[in-house]
Amino acid sequence: QNGNKAGGKTVEVIVKDDAGIPDTTRRLAQELVVNDKVVALAGFGITPSALATAPIATQSKTPMVVMAAATSAITAASPYVVRTSFTLPQAAVGLAEWATKNKIGKVVTLVADYGPGNDAEKYFAERMTLNGGKVLDKLRTPLRSPDFAPVLQKVRDAAPDALFVFLPSGQGAQFMKQFGERGLDKAGIRLIATGDVTDDDQLNDMGDVALGVVSSHHYSAAHDSPANKKFVAAFEAANKFRPNFMAVGGYDGMRVIYNALNASKGARGEALLNAMKGQLFESPRGPVLIDAQTRDIVQDIYIRKVE
């Protein structure tokens, strides 16, 4: 959209695939800093990859833009981290408020057992309890190769008003299938989730079991604004699939880097980082702020329903 010049410099984007392996993320980041002398590191699909790389950002004074990972503690791992994705507490607290207002009193939580899942469980359960609700059980599945059958049986036996779920993007379709196959929807257990579970990119493959699922997130491809309509059309034309929350995190992350390069006249290190802090702009998701103190993103959370 903006050509390849920013802050008087020619921009080159170097793309590496870490395959979601934190040791690989760290090694690639080290090479990019030392050999390619990059001005910024960006991406970080999962929390362990972001945490493994944060010390490199600190040591080399390289701004590190976290576009996807969403555990709240990541921004505290290095003063050079800036986040354009979201945090699980943002999504989970909003959904707990909605649940209370919609007569959901008894819940079971089910999360992937690592950083973002632990955040989601803690903040959702805390807010439900504060609002007078009851958390009957807290269930966790492993990040790699989860088997949902045993936990879904426990949910069925507990018979809550609703099951709250966080799973990282990519696991939602398999989970939904098993939720339907085991008849939990027919048993009257409502499914509520963070938007990772009803990922825009996978929603069409989930079948009718997804209908009516209420989720909370910072982005939806259906978000009704001129900025989003333009983004979705351009993204689909370029990639032939629907943008999801990962897409908007990447898009806004590149915008933050681009704006900072222009504002700092092509600076590196701390000066480039400082130009990222406090940026305020309209994203396809809505208005956002990069908080200057925490370097985290401030944004609206939407309650969405699959139709």
Kindly tell me the sign of the dihedral angle through the C-alpha atoms of 201, 254, 274, 287: negative
Residue with Cβ nearer ligand PHB (7 or 302)? 302
Q: Minimum Å distance from CB 113 to ligand PHB?
A: 12
Q: Minimum Å distance from CB 146 to ligand PHB?
A: 13
Q: Minimum Å distance from CB 168 to ligand PHB?
A: 3
Please say whether the beta carbons of 232 and 242 come within 8 A.
Answer: yes
Tokens of 137: 């059980």
Q: Minimum Å distance from CB 71 to ligand PHB?
A: 5
Q: Minimum Å distance from CB 188 to ligand PHB?
A: 28
In Å, what is the CA distance from 73 to each residue of 55, 83, 119, 120, 165? Answer: 14, 11, 9, 13, 20
How far apart are alpha carbons 291 and 168 in whole angstroms? 25
Residue with Cβ nearer ligand PHB (63 or 117)? 117
Please say whether the beta carbons of 115 and 48 come within 8 A.
Answer: yes
Residue with Cβ nearer ligand PHB (78 or 169)? 169
Tokens of 50: 């972001």
How far apart are alpha carbons 66 and 57 in whole angstroms? 12
Residue with Cβ nearer ligand PHB (218 or 272)? 218
Q: Minimum Å distance from CB 125 to ligand PHB?
A: 18
Please say whether the beta carbons of 223 and 242 come within 8 A.
Answer: no
Residue 123 sits at φ, ψ, to 5 deg, of -75, -35
Residue with Cβ nearer ligand PHB (45 or 133)? 45
> 66: closest CA among 89, 43, 35, 40?
43
How far apart are alpha carbons 243 and 219 in whole angstroms? 10
Residue with Cβ nearer ligand PHB (7 or 115)? 115
Neighbours of 22 (CB within 10 A): 17
Q: Minimum Å distance from CB 105 to ligand PHB?
A: 27
| Residues in contact with ligand PHB by the rule CB under 6 A | 46-47, 69-71, 116, 168-169, 196
Tokens of 175: 């989970």
Residue with Cβ nearer ligand PHB (166 or 235)? 166
